[in-house]
Structure 1
């Protein structure tokens, strides 16, 4: 296996094959670096270490821009800076109005699963009302809550796609939450 510094020099000279040789040699260290960067991020960060490594690597070995690295250490310093910039860009993107701006993420509690046994009658009435509005959504709740089936099994049983089963489950939970929290 060639030394990272030699491969960096080959990339600098424009050798396209060298970029393919570099990633396997530095991937582990880049992954550790990405994990370290993500540890300092707020909870709920959606960017994962693998994606951060790949995005940073693409920026580092961009064919259109000739990069010059003096050493292996210089390369990893540039990788750390690229990761930092990616995290800042993602933060700024999330702060834009079209991505929610200053809205805060609120966890959607599972109103169905959190019902006390004495509230089962209220749940039954709500499910009957939901069935009048959206029969499939009510059926999904019955199969998920009372039968304990997963989305794949529900999809197979009802003849819809797994995506549709998940969508109906999400809708029904929100609908039931709204209905049952008003009591």
Structure 2
């Protein structure tokens, strides 16, 4: 998009129903498309190079699922993008689970997640193992799991995570350190 749209317009559009007759959904998609693609590329950087989903397909699939949300009260652009990031992660996990289910008899090859050094985890962990570990962390500390999801999968910085979660920057840093240690222990245990 050539002209920058004020964040206040995006927030107003998000508060309206995306499928309204005024074309708000189309304007919103056009405005946020580059950011959705950036999020998708960030997610796919953690995937195997031979992944069958493209950044375009992932961002479009996430958009279609988000547009179908009728009960979500979007607070602002950051909230929308955080939910989009979570949606993309779920799409990738579901895609991998479906791929594995279709190849039950074949030997499974783990997806290489090049960004796992952020979490100090071995690079041979696959997206499903990370997803399962995040679900376990969520049962112990839901906010810390959300911090990991937003930082690692969503590519948000600490200050952006603090804004989305409505907590202090110091809280985000503590949760990030705790979550990294916890996930490292979970994913490296024999």
Q: Deviations over 1:16-59 (max 9, x none)?
A: 52111111000001101100100001231100000000000011
| CA distance in structure 2 between the aligned counterparts of 1:95 and 1:105, rounded to whole angstroms | 7
Number of aligned pairs? 102
Other-structure match for 1:80? 85
Which of the pair has more CA radius of gyration? 1
Please give the TM-score of this superposition, normalised by the length of structure 2: 0.49
Equivalent of 1:56, from 56, 59, 62? 62
Q: Answer yes or no: is the 8 Å Cα contact 2:40–2:59 preserved in 1.
A: yes
| CA distance in structure 1 between the aligned counterparts of 2:96 and 2:20, rounded to whole angstroms | 34
State the Cα distance separating 1:100 from its structure 2 match: 1.6
State the Cα distance separating 1:101 from its structure 2 match: 2.5
Q: Secondary structure at the match of 1:80?
A: helix
**Alignment of structure 1 residues 59-138 onto 2, 5 Å:** 59-62=65-68, 65-96=70-101, 99-101=102-104, 103-104=106-107
* 1:19–1:102 distance in 2 versus 1, CA, 3 Å: farther
State the Cα distance separating 1:104 from its structure 2 match: 5.0
Pairwise CA RMSD of aligned residues?
2.3
* 1:54–1:101 distance in 2 versus 1, CA, 3 Å: same
* 1:102–1:76 distance in 2 versus 1, CA, 3 Å: farther
Q: For structure 2, list consecutive stretches of 5 or more residues without a partner in the other structure.
A: 110-190
Please give the TM-score of this superposition, normalised by the length of structure 1: 0.51
| CA distance in structure 2 between the aligned counterparts of 1:56 and 1:11, rounded to whole angstroms | 17
Does residue 32 of structure 2 align to residue 35 of structure 1?
Answer: no
RCO comparison, higher one (Cα < 8 Å, 6+): 2
